[in-house]
Amino acid sequence: MNCACKAATADIELKRDADERIPLQEFAELREECLALRQILIPDEIWPQFREWHTLPDDVASHSSVVLLAFRRGYLPCITAPVHQHLMSSAGILPNVTKQYVKDLRERWMFDADPVKRNRLSRTFRGRLIELQFASWLEGQSHTIISLEATRKGPDIETLSDTGEANAFEVKFIGLGDGDFKVLLRSMGGHPAGGPVSLYQPINYLLFRVYEAARQLQSANGLKTVVIVIDELSLFRFDMQLRRNWIDWANPRFIAPDNDWNQFLSLQKRYPHDLADTILGIDSIKIFRQNAAFEFWLEKEFGI
């Protein structure tokens, strides 16, 4: 990668003598030099609205662009490098990258008026970005990328390992849930915040995401791996249950499903009647956390 964004690794001090909460001018100058920013992440058609939105503070939820915060903190190459590497040439977007994939990587989630919906849309944006980041991580683990969902229908990532084995990966991201986000909003607004916490719903939700990924891997070739990436701020919801192995992966099933959980399942396009059989069709499950520096840390690994 030969781009100006590669050098954007310094933590930039907040401006105290202007109304910018983050250094927008410096970011705008870099954006002009970086094709990943200008053609995919923040293209010209959203840049004016993007810039205007960030000149005013979000007093309700303190939301800010993932890309801008990465620039502010010196982690921008962790976002732009995988985009350059997998989706672009020196001339621009590769011709085989699908239009939908490019559309999904436009960072425009913050434009929605509803902060709860913004939180939901930001999870979707990060989920798509994490697919590319994880592909780059795999290359650092001696995998050779063969193909990506960005360019064809199929698993998120297909690789050859250093021993020549074919692998298929499906990647799912779990960020801050709507319930936790609403509690955070009430607290930020100076109101009493809290409520009952279910130990079962988080691990059931993780199991459901594994099921979703396993379904998508059914027709894949090679070793099939489901990857769950949990945002570091949300790991506390799953940590104890994972450490104590609450899920029996030889006979996976939802634990103590209550009315709320059953209602959630009723809203899904595919009700998991085939939960166990589908999950038993994969080879392994890897659960990672991702921190604010976009690093992947393996928390748990299960063979099936």
Q: Which of 60-69, 78-87, 98-107, 253-262 has the lowest mean pLDDT?
A: 60-69
Give the chain as a DSSP string: --SGGGG--SPPPPPSSSS-SS-HHHHHHHHHH-HIIIIIIS-TTTHHHHHHHTTS--TTT----HHHHHHHHT-THHHHHHHHHHHEETTEE-TTS-HHHHHHTS--GGGSS-HHHHHHHHHHHHHHHHHHHHHHHHHTTT-EEEEEGGGSSS-SEEEE-TTS-EEEEEEEEE---HHHHHHHHHHHTTS-------SHHHHHHHHHHHHHHHHHTTT--SEEEEEEEEEGGGGGGTHHHHHTT-S-TTS---SS--HHHHHHHHTSSS--TTHHHHHTTSSEEEEEEE-TT--EEEEEEEE-
Q: Is residue 215 predicted with pLDDT exceeding 80? A: yes
Neighbours of 95 (CB within 10 A): 8
How is residue 260 written in tokens?
């709320």
Q: Which of 37-41, 253-257, 282-286 has the lowest mean pLDDT?
A: 253-257
Q: Which of 6-20, 103-117, 160-174 has the lowest mean pLDDT?
A: 6-20
Q: Which of 114-128, 173-187, 215-229 has the lowest mean pLDDT?
A: 173-187
The single-letter code of the amino acid at 297 is W
pLDDT of residue 195: 61
Over range 66-80, report the average pLDDT. Answer: 95
**Do 176 and 233 touch, CB atoms closer than 8 A?**
yes
Neighbours of 34 (CB within 10 A): 22
Tens of pLDDT, residues 113-151 = 898 899 899 999 999 999 999 999 999 999 999 999 999
pLDDT of residue 181: 58
Q: Which residues partner with 148 through β-bridges?
A: 157
pLDDT band for position 20 (cuts 50, 70, 90): very low
Q: Is residue 91 predicted with pLDDT exceeding 60? A: yes
Rounded to an integer, what distance in angstroms lies between the CA atom of residue 77 and that of residue 292? 13
Rounded to an integer, what distance in angstroms lies between the CA atom of residue 95 and that of residue 101? 12
Rounded to an integer, what distance in angstroms lies between the CA atom of residue 95 and that of residue 288? 32
> Does the pTM exceed 0.85?
yes
Q: Is residue 272 predicted with pLDDT exceeding 90? A: no
Average pLDDT across the chain, whole number: 90
Rounded to an integer, what distance in angstroms lies between the CA atom of residue 14 and that of residue 21? 7
pLDDT of residue 61: 63
The single-letter code of the amino acid at 123 is R
